[in-house]
Structure 1
Amino acid sequence: MATSVALTGATGFIGRRLIAGLVRDGVQVRALTRSAPATQRDSQVEWIRGSLDDATALDQLVDGVEAVIHCAGAVRGANEATFRRINVDGSRRLFEATQRQGCARLLLMSSLAARHPELSWYATSKYEAEQRLASSAQPVVTVFRPTAVYGPGDRELRPLFETLMRGWLLMTGPSETRLSFLHVDDLVAAAKTWLHHSPSGARVDGSFELHDGYPGGYTWTRIAEIGAGVRGAPVRRLPIPAGMLRALAQANLMLARGLNRSPMLTPEKLRELRHHDWTCDNSALTRAIGWTPQITLEQALGDRRQWAVD
């Protein structure tokens, strides 16, 4: 495994879990942050103050490291410009810094949403960031496209699971929708397995989908069945009418713009939520590095620690 790694997004949901895993493995981490967390003062972590807009900080971040993992990105926004500034332009600056500093390996933590860039500003920005990386002169380029990630520290899927465990499943899409999920610890394991492949070993180039391995994806019916089995009581499905969701999303967007905030639920995001097929295929990544997921949704729901907020 690489002994020194540069990491962006280290204070985010995935980044916090990843940095803890790397430290446990004895990896020296250099992490980009606007302000270093007061509660994280590990000697294995060097905090670089800056952002994706700061070329000097990015050069300092990647100078001399063996690998770069790019987790930072915007998942909320009231306009396309927000996603483009962070996910596209910010990523481009990081890619340029890795080339200037001669870093041989880079892992971009993208999203399965990039498979359908037409759906949302977020999906478009993730796809364009992938295209920028693919056209760069980076020697070893790897893209992870995880599906919906949940686990300790997650705030986006937690309401869905909490409501499920109270006996209600709020359905935001058609009943035939197929969803997929990935526990954050399985994503961290995939990133660490990728690091294990040294430059002198097998190259891991390309784009790879990741999910928890459940075949064919989860239907809303199956999610309700899993919830009922875990809680030992029935789960009632509550479909939310599409018209109501669209009205809520539009109102939320207008309110967020008026308050200068970054909303999650917008008409753009709703198109993602209601897309009919978010199934995945892990086989390419398994062949490349030998990673396989270990945590099923049923296992995670049975242990509140697996999806509670830190």
Structure 2
Amino acid sequence: MPRILVTGATGFIGRRLVPALVEEGHEVRAMTRNAASYDGNGEAVQGDVHDPASLTEPMADVEIAYYLVHSLDDKDFEQKDADAARAFGEAAADAGVRQIIYMGGLGNDDQELSAHLRSRREVEGLLGEAGVPVTVLRAAIVVGDGGISWEITRQLVKKLPAMVVPKWAQTRTQPIALDDVIRYLVGVADHDDAMGRVFEIGGPDQLSYIEMLRIASEVDTGSEVPIITVPVLTPRLSSYWLALVTDVDATTGRNLIDSMGTEVVVSEHSIREIVPGEPLSYAEAVRRALEDSRASDDEG
């Protein structure tokens, strides 16, 4: 089994990916900026993608590296993420890494992409600039406990008896369950047919954001939350509103909201040739996320 490095090991996806890889029998290094406080699976290693010198030791003798970090909470996230991706790709090449695996964002190149989606696309290229093959999984909203987009949905449904949403909330997207994301991430590791390729991943449902809110409300409470659409509610105003009614900060909220006017749906399904299996429905993904959220609340 190859030695694997997971960056962002304490993050939304990383903390679920590490134990899944360990369960498959992989030797896993969990990279975090504070290794001393890490209490999860795998071997904790200290490292920061924004500090290139700190990557040498975690990368030593690693064959596969997962890149699961971003700077969405920073106003200058595009430059920070570009610099970090370039440095990570160079460190991986120097260490002899055979494969980098990255979670990117859905969206066609001929669309007018938001700054968030443009940055995700730029990172894809920069990670492989030094020559290491990059496997990219492009996804829209990942539904799972702790995910920013899911937390926005969950908290809105939980806290508001009715919602006023902007016209762009009618845009279609293709959410995917966290369980399926983990299954795909594990499945492409060290897979010859996945090297240097881009895959689109999503659940079976193409939904507007309004439909997602309604389904989440039905699954959570058994009834639909009333939703009113208004023609004007700018991303800036929307992000301030989210910051008031949820615990998502305005900068992160705005960077995400800027992407929501762009339709992002799966247009090719070649991932199923590499990792067979039917993805979960949005309603089932919501049910599992709510169960995990409640379990986390009980532990807290």
Query: Shorter-chain TM-score category?
Result: 0.7 to 0.9
Q: What is the alpha-carbon distance in structure 1 between the residues aligned to residue 241 and residue 209 of structure 2?
A: 25
2:146 partner letter: G
Cα pair distance change 1:146/1:307, threshold 3 Å: farther
Matches within 5 A, 1:1-310: 2-36=1-35, 38=37, 40=39, 42=41, 45-78=42-75, 81-85=76-80, 87-112=81-106, 115=109, 118-138=112-132, 140-164=133-157, 168=162, 171-174=165-168, 176-195=170-189, 197=191, 201-214=192-205, 217-220=206-209, 222-223=211-212, 226-227=215-216, 230=219, 233-239=222-228, 241-246=230-235, 248-249=237-238, 263-266=251-254, 268-275=255-262, 277-281=263-267, 283-287=269-273, 289-303=274-288, 304-306=290-292, 308=294, 310=296
Other structure's SS at 1:48 match: strand
Q: Aligned pair in 2 of structure 1 residues 271, 116: CA closer, same or farther (>3 Å)? A: farther
CA-to-aligned-CA distance 1:2-39 (integer Å, 9 cap, x gap):
44201111111111111121222232211221112636
Distance 2:2 2:113 in 1: 39
Measured in 2, the distance between the counterparts of 1:37 and 1:161 equals 32
Residues 185-236 of structure 1: CA deviation (Å, up to 9, x unaligned): 1111101111152xxx43532211111122xx11356436634653574414
Aligned 8 A contact 2:63 2:96 in 1: no
Normalising by structure 1, we get a TM-score of 0.79
Deviation at 1:159, TM superposition (A): 3.6
- Cα 1:124/1:224, change in 2 over 3 Å: closer
Q: Distance in 2 between matches of 1:164 and 1:250?
A: 16
Structure 2: gaps (5+ residues): none
> Alignment length, in residue pairs?
289
Q: Using the alignment, how far apart are the partners of 2:258 and 2:107 within structure 1?
A: 11
Q: Return the alpha-carbon distance in structure 2 between the equivalents of residues 6 and 47 of structure 1.
A: 10
- Structure 1 distance, partners of 2:231, 2:62, is 48
Per-residue CA deviations over 1:234-280 (Å, capped at 9, x if unaligned) read 41442353533445257689x9xxxxx872222x54331223x1211
- Return the offset for 1:147: 1.1
Q: Distance in 1 between matches of 2:95 and 2:18?
A: 22
Q: Secondary structure at the match of 1:283?
A: coil
TM-score where L is the length of structure 2? 0.81
Which stretch of the first structure deviates more once superposed, 114-123 or 145-154? 114-123
Preserved CA contact (<8 Å) 1:114 1:126:
no
For 1:188, the aligned partner's letter is I
Equivalent-residue separation in structure 1 for 2:213 and 2:68 (angstroms): 31
In structure 2, do the counterparts of structure 1 residues 234 and 54 end up closer, same or farther at CA, with 3 Å as the change threshold?
closer
**Hey, what's the Cα distance between the residues in 2 that align with 1:156 and 1:220?**
11
SS of 2:186's equivalent?
helix
- Does the 8 A contact of 2:173 with 2:264 survive in 1? yes
165-174 or 300-309: which moved more?
Answer: 165-174
Alpha-carbon contact 2:239-2:257 (below 8 Å) kept: no
1:93 CA displacement: 0.6
Distance 1:187 1:293, change over 3 A: farther
Identity %: 21
- 1:258 — aligned with what? none
Question: 2-side partners of 1:37 and 1:143: how far apart?
Answer: 30
